[in-house]
Amino acid sequence: MKNNDSVHHQLQTEYKREEKLLLTLLERGSELEKVTNEKKSNEKERNRLKRRYMSLRKYRLWAFTWVERKLFSFIRTSKERFQSFVLKTDHKALLEQNKQLSEKQARLEKELEIAHQQLRNEIKQAGSQIVDWQELNEGQLHHSLQMIKEDGDMLGYLQDLIKKRTIHDNNYRSALKYAAILYSNDKKAAKHKIYQTLLEGLKIEEIPEILIRSRSDQKEDTISLKPIASFSASLTMQARIRQLESFKPEWEVDDKATAYTFIDELGIRRPWVSEEEFSFTQVPEKEGIVIKPVIGAGSRGVYIIFDMNRIQDVKRSRILSSWDDFKASMQEDLNRGLVSDDQWVAEELLYENNENQTPARDIKFYCFYGKVGLILEIRRFPEVAYCWWTPDGERVRTGKYEGKLFEGDGVSQDQAELAAFISSEIPAPFMRIDFLKTEEGLVFGEFAPKPGNYDEFDRHTDCALGNEFLEAQGRLLTDLLKGKTFDHFKTSLKSAGRSNR
């Protein structure tokens, strides 16, 4: 362990040294460019003077025309004095006219300055819109938008805000692109340092071709594009693909019945679930079950019925003390749109600790075709809390649930490998696979091809998962080209009557 720490320290020291050298290289490069430009300017002036000197030498007659030039100068001066004498009578009139013109010019200059000031104020006001938004906290932002909605001005306001943001973004993008052009012919080390820095300020669609341009087939001739990968962008594009193509393998197992058929095909334990769906008025009065909406996400509409007088509303982290309160809460879910359809199912209640009747924790694996990229552990009792894990068993922060974190227990290597195996049987680059952690081990819960609020990860996590997504796409394509048939997946679709899709 000490050796690893020592190596890590040495690598960090070497990295800092390399960063310092690159900064020095950039500074020296700027100084060299400045000196070079000055040298070019001096050389240009020297050549001009040399040409002038040679021109004067060529016409040696210039040296012998001194008398004539003096005579012409005397005549010109005398003529000007004579004209001045003749025009002296109009001198006062000219002075008065000049005074009037000067006053008019001063007035116009003042009006111009006022116009410029008004323009500057308008530009400042337009630009400050974005700054004002940046200075507001989340609560103030929500309040501002709520007021705009109540006034009925939301559409116009959004159009204006988007227009201003577009101008703002275009200016930044133009400046960053020009910075890339300025360094396009510099030495590779300096150029790559500038380009890597530029990548931090650009979205995927904003990256100019010059940043990824290569003069050879060598990888080292181009900068790494690893920082631009985005999990959020990948899932959003998948949603667009789904709009274009009705059949998406990952969404087939989003259906609960199909998912259970697939899991049964793989021989993995799952909870029993009621065969028939029911409305909230027909919920079976039975203890030791979980009530869930057929279509739902994020624990909305999920209730744990310990007994008739102790029912947990999972989403709101509250205990309902009567059956009437439970039914009223379900009605509220429907009225508020938390649950879209009045269709529910009953599911087996599993415990983390059977003796204490502690509800099983959720273990959610973010899987990328045969590989686990991230793990989320959720404790739902006495209140909801979250713990993020790397596949190697290290606790991490991801930017999500920052105010509700706890120190979880994690998962075993075998459990992570089980999730990875399941994902390798689904022909899709990403799938979140959810389990319940019981005394007997993991029990399958559901598939989530599009996790709720997937856009809330911090930049580091979003980038890391984005690269996992891209690598998974490559592995999947390779397996398909090699003839992998995904028999378990196809069989489950056929059994569920979805094979014709």
CB count, 10 Å around CB of 315? 19
Please state at what angle helix 2-58 crosses helix 188-199, rounded to 10 degrees: 110
- Minimal CA–CA distance to 457: which of 392, 369, 386? 386
Q: Which residues of 443-454 are buried (b: 16+ CB within 10 A; e: fewer)?
A: bbbbbbbbbeeb
DSSP label of 360: P
Strands 303-307, 372-379: pairing kind: unpaired
Share of the chain above pLDDT 70, in %: 79
Q: For residues 201 and 277, what is the distance between their CA atoms, to the nearest angstrom?
A: 50
pLDDT digits (tens, 9 = 90+) for 350-405: 988 888 888 899 999 999 999 999 999 999 877 889 999 999 999 999 999 999 99
Which residues, other chains included, contact 202 with Cβ-Cβ below 8 Å and sequence gap of 6+? 173, 176, 228
Whole-number Cα distances in Å, 312 to 5, 158, 304, 355, 480: 46, 40, 5, 18, 45
Which residues, other chains included, contact 154 with Cβ-Cβ below 8 Å and sequence gap of 6+? 145, 148
pLDDT at 86 over 60: no
Q: For residues 470 and 206, what is the distance between their CA atoms, to the nearest angstrom?
A: 19
DSSP label of 405: B
Judge contact between 262 and 253, C-beta under 8 A: yes
Adjacent-strand bridge partners of 410: none
pLDDT digits (tens, 9 = 90+) for 282-301: 999 999 999 999 887 778 89
Q: In the numeric block, which tokens belong to residue 260?
A: 């259970």
- Minimal CA–CA distance to 463: which of 260, 225, 176? 225
Residue 127's pLDDT band, with cuts at 50, 70 and 90, is: very low
